[in-house]
Amino acid sequence: MINIFEVYETNKMIEHENLDVRTITLGISLLDCISDNLETLKANIYNKITNAARDLVSTGKDIEELYGIPIVNKRISVTPISLVGGAACKSPEDFVEIAEVLDECAKTVGVNFLGGYSALVSKSMTQADRLLIESIPEALAVTDRVCSSVNVGSTRTGINMDAVRLMGRTIKKAAERTADRDSLGCAKLVVFCNAPDDNPFMAGAFHGVTEGDMVINVGVSGPGVVKAALEHCKDSDFEELCETIKKTSFKITRVGQLVAREASQRLGVPFGIVDLSLAPTPAVGDSVADILKAIGVEHPGAPGTTAALALLNDQVKKGGVMASSYVGGLSGAFIPVSEDQGMIEAVQAGALTLEKLEAMTCVCSVGLDMIAIPGDTSEETLSGIIADEMALGMVNQKTTAVRLIPAIGKKVGDSVEFGGLLGYAPIMSVNTFGCERFVNRRGRIPAPIHSFKN
Amino acid sequence: MNFGAACKFLMTIYINRETNMKKTIITVVGKDKVGIIAKVCTYLANNKINILDISQTIIDGFFNMMMITDTTNAEKSTKDIRHELHQIGEEIGVSIHVQHEDIFEMMHRI
């Protein structure tokens, strides 16, 4: 039977170490909404989402009460809209109308973000893909809760450099279109390589075409819990350090598994995966940077950081895998800058640069995330940064992503403020040497030799 | 595990399965004072909530009490019980939480 010390440990994690379930994400397929008439399509989408997600938020709250564990976000991911809207949308403006319907759906059912305003163009683009990408800056400016992502490369297909170039331009336009709000549009836009179909985390969540009609995916969190556990490991060797992270990760993930199973049963929707990520928030004590410090670097960015992060990421996976029957999504440590107080401090102290962050993304999940850069950064430079990050993902057979915010009117030394979970970020300096000739070449970078496994 | 403990363990599984017992963990944390247990137990008795196990200790200088309770026969919903116990906690200056046992079972047992 459960004893008092175990109960105390769990409740201490929840109350003092920010243990929470970061998100319950309901994936909804919109493939059966497709019509060649835009008005019919919009009505179909609205009806399907508002019906399917009717009880999502209230169910989340009930589970929260039952177990006494906060479930921070309830969210929705949908089939990439370029596939759904292809038949009906003849211009970027048509796609924006769909974005507005999605925003309305999110507000009606009470979720804080809805992901899937997406296109999958890792090899090439259809006309619909191109129109959707062109519509992204406007779509993100006129909606509040819609998130967008574009997959521009994969280990199997290589990198679609035409799409990379287009995304550099799109990010810049999205920043300009929301210049009055610290270029907030870019915080809702992710460029991916090897994007997973079942990622529950925003802004990159979409309901992949390999998924069924509906699915429940859950993202767990808890960097504060890992950090607190490591406080007892100040002088321990690597074996003990790794064991501690692994055991803590197991406990955190078990909570995610419990919530996922309960949500799946109550909503009558199949359980998909638990994403066992360490996702920080701007709250004090909810930081991945603090874990790296507890492992032994003065600030993230100091020599040794990449090795420490590699160790952390691997132990999180090893502990988490046994705790859940299905693990998926991004699963690993997130290193966003604006959403992590410790990362912000590292940038302000001059310890962390964009180049070091790029190196860190080789060994953890995701990539260059929530990084504010000067507003005058050229679209070619943006494309160059995207291409580099996509190459890391392609060659290392892992997901990488770019969520950069070229804050219009801001320069190094300034900061941008998004509020809430998105936090604030100091503007980081960017290498401004040119890459125009490289990114303006047409076509795609071929898949690496080790992708041919058949 | 000795024979007695093994029997008790098997009985617990049997009882849980047979009666579909709803086990709820009630925790009380705060500064120690006279009458905490009395107040909580009176509420539980009045609401037909059976106490299966009770333990208390001092952790980090705070009074900690844990009760494993059976709410199968309770007339009120778990939600109401949670809110009312929370209010009682505020009256006597302690923090009272009511949680389903599964969160602890999942986290601490493989």
Contact yes or no for B12 and A1 at CB 8 A: yes
Q: Does A348 score more than 90 pLDDT? A: yes
Inter-residue contact A250 to A320 (CB < 8 Å) = yes
Q: Are A113 and A153 in contact (CB under 8 A)?
A: no
Q: How many CB pairs under 8 A join A and B?
A: 64
Q: What is the ipTM of this complex?
A: 0.84
Q: How many independent structural domains does chain A possess?
A: 1
* % of chain A exceeding 90 in pLDDT: 83
pLDDT in tens, A422-445: 888 899 999 999 999 999 999 999
pLDDT, chain B, mean: 82
Task: Give a yes or no: residue A171 inside a domain.
Answer: yes
Name the pTM for this structure: 0.91
Report yes or no on A78 lying in a domain: yes
Higher pLDDT, B9 or B105: B105
Report the 10 Å Cβ neighbour count for B31: 11
For residues A86-109, average pLDDT: 97
Answer for the pair B73, B48: CB distance below 8 angstroms, yes or no: yes
Structure tokens, A335? 């290193």
Question: How far does the CA of residue B69 sit from the closest CA of chain A (Å)?
Answer: 12
Beta carbons within 8 Å of B108's beta carbon, 6+ residues apart: A2, A6, A9, A10, A251
Residues 15-74 of A with CB under 8 A from B: 65-69
- In tens, the pLDDT along A43-84 reads 999 999 999 999 999 999 999 999 999 999 999 999 999 999
Range of the domain at A165: 19-193
pLDDT, tens digit (0-9, with 9 covering 90-100), for A218-228: 998 889 999 99
DSSP reduced 3-state for B74: coil
Contact A382, A163 (CB under 8 A): no
pLDDT of residue A339: 87
CATH number of this structure's domain B22-108, picked from the four choices 3.30.70.260, 2.60.120.620, 2.40.240.20, 2.20.25.90: 3.30.70.260
- Beta-carbon contacts of residue B88 (< 8 Å; ≥ 6 apart): B39, B40, B43, B96
Contact B104 A10 (CB under 8 A): yes
**With an 8 Å Cβ cutoff, are B78 and A66 in contact?**
yes
Q: Which of A355-364, A399-408, B61-70 has the lowest mean pLDDT?
A: B61-70
Q: In A, which residues are within 8 Å of B79 by CB distance?
A: 65
**A8 to B64: CB separation less than 8 angstroms, yes or no:** yes
What is the distance in angstroms between the Cα of B101 and the nearest Cα belonging to chain A? 8
The answer to whether the CB atoms of B68 and A67 lie below 8 A apart is no
**Mean confidence (pLDDT) of chain A:** 94
For residue A143, is it within any domain?
yes
Q: Scanning every residue of chain B, which has its alpha carbon at the shortest distance from the alpha carbon of A257?
A: B106
Distance separating alpha carbons of residues A283 and A37, to the nearest angstrom: 46
Within 131-190 of A, beta carbons closer than 8 Å to B belong to none
Give the CATH number of the domain where residue A78 resides.
Answer: 3.20.70.20
- Per-domain residue ranges for chain B? 22-108
pLDDT score for B14: 45
d(CA B32, CA B41): 16
Question: If you average pLDDT over residues A93-104, what whole number do you get?
Answer: 97
Domain membership flag for residue A134: yes
Per-residue pLDDT tens digits for A146-205: 999 999 999 999 999 999 999 999 999 999 999 999 999 999 999 999 999 999 999 999
Using the structure block, give the residue that is written with the tokens 């550099």: A168
